[in-house]
Structure 1
């Protein structure tokens, strides 16, 4: 059964869903574990063929979870038994609140102990006491995935030490320069065990006033930790930019430019709209060499359109815009990134493209994942960068704008598709912001073909990019929110 479980996990990450389901069935035939039944229900494709297929799998999750509830299954440790989150739902381009709440409600019903509250009396805060803030994250200290660390390092380091005591709750792994810098920026670092119950008991042993989760949904352990009431105030932000549906998560920290009117309906948490992005991002180290097409074996006589995002961000709706660009610009070469995990995702995406725009498929080129400086050099080499709708860039946009390279963005209804727009707003540079699919296509084609305008836009970005880096006012605004949330709880 263990061998089938390992094979199942490998197939899931490769996007080979049918093979993963078969492994679940084989495993269940050897050892019945309700966790495997749940994992089977929650498995969905990484790359979709159509919007209809997305709807099918979302409906399938709801129907099959109801069936499991009707069977009366019970879980004693969802992290150990299921060991996954509903990570890929956020890439469907839909309001996930209702579905996330149904999933969270299911877990509470089949494992009531998830909503655990420690049986201890907290010390009352005295006037003038520092606010104890605990940061709980797996990916803040990830050796290979550094986005969460880059987005949050400056917040941890620059929170006022006159007002706050900053404690990091982390799960041990290796160490990089970034991981070391994050730890050095805190007042205290607590290494947690990798099991759910001991980890939550250790967190609860500290009198923490606020628990801050940067990235709920990216790993199963912090997702299931968030079900417990481990601090009077529990909040999250947009490392994984989607609501949790978890009753014990109090606040989702976002910003005004990331949210449209009525966006409260997207969240089970109380939505906090800061006036700035809640990020203190250090300027990245730029590539050592000038952009060079020769370095990447790109032709000199083509227009380079790069969409440097993971394949699972490519919603089927995006294909029409890509097809229109390739058809309208015969010199276009579309550069994509395979993704750091499995090449099979790229193969699935190419298979879909071959149906959407078969006549231009020979002008789509996938590049392997590469070190950060090479990645930034690739972006700087492009004539234009394209951002997928529905779920765009965060860290990638910061790196691109540091290089002075324009990203064409088409901000959508959900915050996960509005980060690049919000950064442009903060810079006061809106030339590359589209308001519909047609304007997205037109801006991209003009950037690629109108060199004078492209250089004008690049100059604007270079002149104003300093406005998005090392934003100390973003830290001060977060501090005011944390203080307000604690005061409100104490009333």
Structure 2
């Protein structure tokens, strides 16, 4: 009851006390494991320990296995997830778990050869299920539970594989809302609904708040569908800046579909699809005449009920339409609407506070570790071999398992420089900005680069070196520089990437020149609402076409 009332920490205290009184009580173990898991403390092993104890006490408990698999998946321990799900299948077979096992991908790779093998295995598993007996899944959010999230980090065109995945999921799952919708009256404002799990202090919240707040209210009626409960400063601002705010909190997928359908939207704008199972499988339904997805998770979805992928001319190659199952719409504007410039730290901790050398050249890459592609190792090696004072910094954050996997890879691929590669724990927002500010150069990883990180680095006046990829997910930093009118930090090859980084790191005069140029030009990136106007124009035309 305490947990249901939002008093989770208090509930955890009582569950711990129950476990102390009787360590062999299954209900106390699973209740504590569940509460700790829901609190979201990924790095804490206590949830896993209690769930494994629950399974030892009741080996046939599907609930305990399900929770353990979820805990392990949050930690990107996908091999152990697979082992746990296989155990569930031995207890009781479920078609949703067969699909989960097919879609389960590693978060980090030891080589490009491993990536290619994983993709081949994925296609083979999908085809086996497509060619096999009928499948049945009533609620994919609770039965399949995952999305092909990590596919986007392979650095390849995912369009055909994503479409195949959707074909498999549609074989098993038929949403109730999947028929063409009646035309809406033309006399009123366009009703647009923004959908996400992440309307909070999160990259998705920061990217999309500008749309929600600035769309013209004489033309648009804005509804926000928050797929879970949030109550931080940005969440409250998003709520205040919407005309209608609909918040869900654990309702099943079918109920959420009914509620959204009942609002009779003209447009549903999915801010991200692929980062969580709820928004991913919600997008399988037809809930508005026009359904759009955008760059929150910048990869095609393969979902045939998503009509349009909203992007920008500055970020897409001429042939980029082949990268998407959706119709690619390139808007003639900059892509981050109304993005707020983060404040400079009021006081800076020294490098020594982060375990870094005061006289070193700091090359920071504070990205999620699953972005660190095997191809990036060569660039790190060239930088550190040419600069004996260089240190490369990664953020391990809450994913200790990924940190260990990346260390093992770097020990094998670039052992001669591994001693100058640092891994920092998770940082507060202020310490994160502090780290950026005391670095010499920011490294934009390829083939999936930074978005928010690039904005934050340029706001702090720190150069970001980038090697643009063929795909949207590796072209955000390029887009920033094109908007700023500067190309000094944009490379065309891995060798140029290393050369550019080294010049910025070791040549103080050149770095001063580039930093000054960033300071003179970066203002165009912030509080820029061009994209809102471009989206308005597109939606007005698209809705007129839909109604015609």
Q: TM-score range by the shorter chain?
A: over 0.9
Structure 1: gaps spanning 5 or more residues: none
Q: Distance in 1 between matches of 2:536 and 2:460?
A: 30
Alignment CA distance shift 1:361-1:43 (3 Å)? same
Q: Separation in 1 of the partners of 2:176 and 2:100?
A: 17
The question of whether the paired residues in 1 share the 8 Å contact of 2:183 and 2:547 is answered with no
Give the 3-state SS of the residue equivalent to 1:284 in structure 2.
coil
Structure 1 residues 85-94 or 105-114, which shifts more? 105-114
**Secondary structure in 1 matching 2:199:** helix
Whether contact under 8 Å (2:366, 2:394) holds in the other structure is yes
Q: 2:193 aligns with which of 134, 144, 148?
A: 134
Q: State whether residues 175 and 284 of structure 2, in contact with CA within 8 Å, keep that contact through their aligned partners in structure 1.
A: no
Distance 1:11 1:392 in 2: 26
Report 1:79-98 matches (<5 A).
79-98=141-160
> How far apart, CA to CA, are the structure 1 residues paired with 2:80 and 2:270?
34
Matches within 5 A, 1:63-462: 63-69=124-130, 70-113=132-175, 116-117=178-179, 121=182, 123-126=184-187, 129-141=188-200, 146-192=202-248, 194-280=251-337, 281-290=339-348, 292-339=350-397, 341-462=398-519
CA distance in 1 between partners of 2:164 and 2:530 (Å): 37
Deviation at 1:123, TM superposition (A): 4.3
Would the aligned equivalents of 1:135 and 1:211 in 2 still touch at CA under 8 Å? yes
Provide the rounded CA distance (Å) in 2 between the counterparts of 1:156 and 1:385: 31
- Give the 3 Å change call, closer, same or farther, for CA 17–123 of structure 1 in structure 2: closer
**SS in structure 2 of the partner of residue 248 of structure 1:** coil
Q: Indicate conservation of the 8 Å contact 1:135/1:214, yes or no.
A: yes
Q: Does the CA-based 8 Å contact 2:199-2:234 persist in structure 1?
A: no
Partner of 2:12: none
TM-score normalised per structure 2: 0.86
1:34 aligns with 2:95: yes
Q: What RMSD over aligned residues (CA atoms) do the two structures have, in Å?
A: 1.5
Task: Give the secondary-structure state (helix, strand or coil) at the position aligned to 1:71.
Answer: coil
> 1:63-107: CA deviations, max 9, x gaps?
112222313222111111011111000000000000000001111
Structure exhibiting the larger radius of gyration computed from Cα positions? 2
Aligned-partner Cα distance in 1 for 2:78–2:355 = 34
C-alpha distance in 1 between matches for 2:202 and 2:543: 30
What secondary structure sits across from 1:324 in the alignment?
Answer: helix
1:479 to 536, 539, 544: 536
The alignment status of 1:25 with 2:82, answered yes or no, reads no
Residues 456-465 or 10-19, more deviating: 10-19
Pairwise CA distance, 1:327: 1.0
Counterparts of 1:291 and 1:452 in 2: how far apart (Å)?
24
Q: Which residue of 2 aligns with 1:53?
A: 114
Offset of residue 7 of structure 1 = 2.0
- Equivalenced residue count is 484
Q: Distance in 1 between matches of 2:329 and 2:89?
A: 44
Shift of 1:109: 1.6
1:246 and 1:358 map into 2 onto residues whose CA distance is 43
The aligned counterpart of 2:16 is: none
Counterpart Cα distance in 1 of 2:494 and 2:182: 56
| In 2, Cα distance between equivalents of 1:88 and 1:99 | 13
8 Å CA contact retained: 2:364, 2:443:
yes
Q: Which ranges of structure 2 fall in alignment gaps of 5 or more residues?
A: 1-61
Shift in Å, 1:291 = 6.2
Query: Does the aligned pair in 2 maintain the 1:108–1:115 contact within 8 Å?
Result: no
What whole-Å deviation, never above 9, does each CA across 1:245-298 have from its counterpart, x for those lacking one? 011101101111211111000001110111223322011122111463233232
Paired with 1:328 and 1:92, the residues of 2 have a C-alpha distance of 28
Aligned counterparts of 1:121 and 1:472: Cα–Cα separation in 2: 33
Report the alpha carbon displacement of residue 165 of structure 1 after superposing the two structures with TM: 0.6
CA distance in 1, matches of 2:288, 2:79: 41
